[in-house]
Amino acid sequence: WSQLLLLLALVLLYLYNFRVLDLSRIPYMSGFLKNIYAFINLGMAGFVMATVAVRFVFPAVSAEGAAFWIIRTAPISLRDFLWSKFWTGFVPVLVLTEVLTVTANQFLGVDPALKVMAAVAIVFMSLALVGLAMGLGARYPRFGGDPSQVAGSYGGVAFMMQSVLYILVMTALLGWPSSVYLLQPVRRAPLSIVQELLMLLSLAAAAAMSLAIWWFSMRSGVRALERMGQ
């Protein structure tokens, strides 16, 4: 609970910084900077999500400790066990990061299309990061350590490295079509069919990558638990 209270204080401080950020004092650039900060906010929300996942989601399997043998002998499959852990971690992580993203974008006053895109992107990022944390946590459990030790283990470090790479790629895939959309009124020229197709392809690639990471991570985690139970 002490760590959760500390996390809540950091979240409030995070939102307060966006609340007092006065970009309107910069002439001719306030609108552009607001949209730039929207992507910074999306990336920061992803890092917050990864940090929460490595501390609270990744150790979920290891938290069973010596009592894991009860799970192995219980009349439920290890697949159901891992998926129940996933949904238990996914919902609070999604709610937290959605509140961060939507509230910060509201304080910034960014373009409505960016608000919708960021909110939808958080759903896909939550699926991917929580699924990745759960899958790696099942593949590299440490039943004898406390959650902080588990988070700092080899699997936890591997999760953070993959999470950073994923967040950077997601920001790039979402940033390019959004920049084309935002600069279109400035250029005063309609988008070509090629540009529209490339924008849709970039957004589809971001969604497909997130779903693939989520699904394959959970599958690998279930297989690791099943091999452990043999």
pTM: 0.86
Dist. CA 32–CA 141, nearest whole Å: 46
Say yes or no to pLDDT of 209 above 90.
yes
Radius of gyration in angstroms for the set of CA atoms belonging to the chain, rounded to a whole number: 20
pLDDT tens digit string along 41-68? 888 889 989 988 998 899 888 888 777 7
Q: What is the reported pLDDT for 37? A: 76
Length of the chain: 230
Report which of residues 145 and 105 the model is more confident about. Answer: 105
Dist. CA 56–CA 148, nearest whole Å: 9
Q: Determine contact, residues 134/221, Cβ cutoff 8 Å.
A: yes
Angle at 90 between CA 115 and CA 148, to 5 degrees: 115
